[in-house]
Structure 1
Amino acid sequence: MTSTSNDDDAIVERAKKIPKTLKRRYRMVALDLDGTLLSTKRTVANVQAEYLRGLSEKGFHVCIATGRAATGTYDHAAKLQIPKLPVVCSNGSRGFFWSPSSSISDGNEDDNDNSAPMIEELFHHQVPKEVVQRAIRMANQHGYCIQYYYMDSVYANQKNPTHYKCTTMYTDYTGVRIDHIDDDFQELLEKNHLPSKLLLLFDDKDGTKARQVANEEFDPTEATIVKGYCSWFMEILNATSNKGVGLRRMCHQLEIPLDQVIAIGDGCNDLEFLQMAGLGVAVKNAEPEVKEIADINLDFTNDDHGPMRILQELEEKGELAFQ
């Protein structure tokens, strides 16, 4: 196990209030990124990356599960350097295995060069064309900007300074490159290149109005509407998709029962995710709705290395299964 500093030891001491879990041996942890595994500086701490890599080397499964698009996960997957890392992205709409490129794994390139990861696609549930077309009309009517996620590309139809401000904020937040498009995605639609998700961006402090508009436009049987991690965007997904369903799809691929999975998260898009897993864990900085349904509420945050702390606790109790 990775050694900790005195400060880290103090964090562990503050975590002693973690309630005892049922005696069960878990085979996998599924980790949300923003607000959970990532610090407020939006990076994976070295100590957590080393610990998670060590668990993987011992045969314990580590999975990323995020609302981000695939390209927004690559830098963090590269930090973990876990071969065939399971990734659920776009809030459960897409799943794949990530592996370092051969040049990285052979040690011939800098460890941070993840320009050519190897991706093995597992599932991809796209937004139906009719829903995309209605979302475009709705966005134009209310002045929202749309980001369109197709495979590893992200397109946006910025039409005014507010739109450009929003997409710039999103790029600054995630590091994802946005390609401008003029035709409201008509060429993509004509080619049937349907998105894994749509992101609506708006100049709306709390997003309440935009979410109300979207929920009035789409019935739950037509699309899944997800409150964004930040208040100035929200997502439109295939009606069959959410992070809990994405986790279930990934577990089916790995042949791991859901009751042998730990899910750790913080945001409203993690609700189904935590409920689907055998053990749902909320970090201290989680939304109140998430804490309400979690099996365990931690006394430490993402900046306190929350995911590592609970995994260390469970490992010490003998509740992690190694192959």
Structure 2
Amino acid sequence: MYKLIALDLDGTLLNSDKQISSENKAAIDAARAEGVRVVLVSGRPTSGMRESLEALNMVSDDDYVLSYNASVVQKVKSETIIRSQILTGHNAKQLAKLAKKLDINIHAFSHQKGLITPAHNDYTTHESVINGDTITLIDFEELADDEAILKVMLVDHAHKLSAAIAQLPAALYEQFTIVQSAPFFLEFLNKDSNKGIGVKALADHLSIPAEQVICMGDAGNDFHMIQYAGLGVAMGNATDDIKAVADHITVTNDQHGVAKVINEFVLNM
């Protein structure tokens, strides 16, 4: 019996129109009615997940949300932190120097300042639009070394970003968790943060073993939680590396893949 379902948002629960289908909502409602916990796990900030949480009526203090690729695990209503492992201004400055060297755009999420970038670009604008965040222009050298930074992202055209990734020093992979959430987004997290660690922390908090956890996702930042779960599910639209690690591959996000999995593995329909 599965007791916890962890769902990625973009490319998984949300369809191509960034909506939760009636089929997915009905399946989630039915699972929750059976006592199964359902949580959203996204690279987005919590503010960017609010609309989906409200649509699913997952806004009480008995509901949890995992944001910034599960760098932060918290209760929805009170925002009580269950686990938080984030970066610093020192890290952001280090990565800004790297971005300048590679001629790649960069932005970050500051606890105090929100979405920050040293220069306007299409990819930070995209981030701003999907999450409803205001962009603050700032030279990262102005950040205090101890400023709380949720995550840092290299953002640029897919071909340009791929070329930059090929040039990343190996030492960076020892210092940070590095995941690609989209062809134009490369995310740098605290080394002790990823979606797998975050979902495990919540499952442990709720005394739910891994074998009773379902995780569903489509992109590189979902790798760790799909690997962790008792049932790791890749969407039909997932990248090949995610399909390779998954226990099960469902249909695409536009074909209500989340509902299909819940109906088959949780509701036995």
Query: What is the CA-CA distance between 1:197 and the residue it aligns to?
Result: 0.6
**Residue by residue, what CA displacement relative to the aligned partner does 1:94-138 show, whole Å, maximum 9, x if unpaired?**
111213xxxxxxxxxxxxxxxxxx422222111144432210211
Name the SS for the 1:171 alignment partner.
Answer: helix
Tell me, what secondary structure is at the counterpart of 1:122?
A: strand
Could you tell me which of 50, 57, 79 is aligned with 2:33?
57
Residues 1:206 and 1:85: Cα distance change in structure 2 (over 3 Å): farther
SS in 1 for 2:80: strand
Partner of 1:143: 103
Match of 1:166 in 2: 123
User: So what's the TM-score if we normalise by structure 2?
Assistant: 0.90
For residue 304 of structure 1, what is the aligned residue in structure 2? 255
Q: Does 1:28 align with 2:15?
A: no
For residues 33 and 112 of structure 2, the distance between their equivalents in structure 1, rounded to whole angstroms, comes to 28
Superposed displacement of residue 287, structure 1 = 0.9
TM-score, normalised with respect to structure 1: 0.76
How far 1:40 sits from its partner (Å)? 0.6
Within 2, Cα distance between the matches of 1:257 and 1:152? Answer: 35
**Alignment partners' CA distance in 2, 1:119 and 1:32:** 20
Q: When the two structures are aligned, how many residues end up with a matched partner?
A: 267
The structural deviation recorded for 1:263 is 0.7
List structure 1 runs of 4+ shifted beyond 4 angstroms. Answer: none
SS in 2 for 1:200: strand
Any idea what the Cα deviations from partners look like across 1:58-88, whole Å, max 9, x if unmatched? 3111011112222221111111112332211
Deviation at 1:247, TM superposition (A): 1.0
More displaced, 287-296 or 141-150? 141-150
State the SS of the aligned residue for 1:308.
helix
Amino acid at match of 1:166: Y
- Distance apart, 1:316 and its partner CA: 4.3
Cα distance in 2 between the residues matched to 1:316 and 1:251: 20
Distance in 1 separating the partners of 2:243 and 2:158: 26
Cα distance in 1, alignment partners of residues 164 and 186 from structure 2:
8
- Post-superposition CA distance 1:128-166 (Å, at most 9, x none): 44432210211223333322213485332243xxx4322
Q: Distance in 2 between matches of 1:253 and 1:150?
A: 27
Kindly indicate whether the alpha-carbon contact (under 8 Å) linking 1:258 and 1:276 is maintained by their aligned counterparts in 2.
Answer: yes
Unaligned runs of 5+ in 1: 1-24, 100-117, 319-323
Q: Secondary structure at the match of 2:106?
A: strand
CA RMSD of aligned residues (A): 2.1
Shift of 1:206: 5.6
**In the TM superposition, what whole-angstrom CA distance separates every residue of 1:15-72 from its partner, at most 9, and x where no partner exists?**
xxxxxxxxxx111111111111000111111332233133223311101111222222
8 A Cα contact 1:144 1:201, kept in partner:
yes
Residues 185/38 of structure 1: CA separation in 2 closer, same or farther (3 Å cut): farther
One-letter code of the match for 2:140?
D
Query: Which residue of the partner structure matches residue 68 of structure 2?
Result: 90
1:124 to 84, 95, 101: 84
Q: Which runs of 5+ in 2 are unaligned?
A: none
Residue among 137, 152, 161 paired with 1:198:
152
Aligned to 2:44: 68
Match of residue 134 from structure 2: 178
Higher-Rg structure is 1
SS at match of 2:125: helix
Equivalent position amino acid for 2:92 in 1: V
Distance 1:254 1:157, change over 3 A: same
Which letter does structure 1 place at the counterpart of 2:206? L
**Letter aligned with residue 271 of structure 1:** F
Amino acid of the structure 1 residue aligned with 2:257: G
1:241 maps to a residue whose letter is: S
Q: How does 1:1-323 map to 2 (within 5 A)?
A: 25-82=1-58, 83=60, 84-99=62-77, 118-151=78-111, 154-159=114-119, 163-172=120-129, 174-184=130-140, 186-187=142-143, 189=144, 192-205=146-159, 207-213=161-167, 215-216=168-169, 218-229=171-182, 231-298=183-250, 300-317=251-268
